[in-house]
Amino acid sequence: MTSATADVATHDEGHAHPTDKMFVKTAVALAVITAVEVAWSYLPWGEGFAAQAAEIGGLLAMMAVKFVVVASIFMHLRFDKKILSWLFYGGLILAVAVYCAALATFEFFTGSNPPYVG
């Protein structure tokens, strides 16, 4: 019968765990990015495709950065096998693609000349 400390010690030999200081720094960085996202969404972007692309593209980029930071630091993906990282990041790419497809669908059906008038 093995003790719990022996299991933890064996697990700890594989990689160095993040310190509490690193978790606090990460939380502060995530809070700053979130504040920038909120401010970004209130900026007067104007009309047109370029303005909408800049607004939504910036928000999506900040969202992706936060996802990667949370997955790699708080979920310890940095220390796991690379296939798990690829699965998580593949899910992120799929989610962004579905979101963009949904936005495109709403744009096509709410334009000034809709294809279907009921």
Q: Is the pLDDT of residue 75 over 70?
A: yes
Mean of pLDDT values over 39-65 = 90
pTM of the shown model = 0.69
Q: What per-residue confidence (pLDDT) applies to 109?
A: 56
Please identify which residue in the block is written with the tokens 């495709």: 49
Q: Is the pLDDT of residue 7 over 50?
A: no
- The residues, ordered by sequence, that sit 6+ positions from 14 with a Cβ below 8 Å of its Cβ are 79
Whether 101 is in a domain gets the answer yes
> Residue 59, Cβ neighbours under 10 Å: how many?
14
Average pLDDT along the chain: 80
Whether 118 is in a domain gets the answer no
Mean of pLDDT values over 50-74 = 89
Q: Is the pLDDT of residue 90 over 60?
A: yes
Please give the Cα distance from 108 to 116 (Å, whole number).
Answer: 11
Q: Which domain holds residue 98?
A: 19-109
Whether 85 is in a domain gets the answer yes
Residue 79 falls in which region: left (phi positive, over 0), alpha (psi -120 to 50) or beta = alpha
Whether 67 is in a domain gets the answer yes
Whether 57 is in a domain gets the answer yes
Q: Is the pLDDT of residue 88 over 70?
A: yes
Whether 114 is in a domain gets the answer no
Whether 40 is in a domain gets the answer yes
Whether 3 is in a domain gets the answer no
C-alpha pair distances (Å), 107 with each of 21, 23, 48, 94: 45, 40, 12, 20
Please give the Cα distance from 35 to 32 (Å, whole number).
Answer: 5
Q: What is the pLDDT of residues 102-115, one digit of tens each?
A: 888 876 655 555 55
Q: How many domains does the chain have?
A: 1
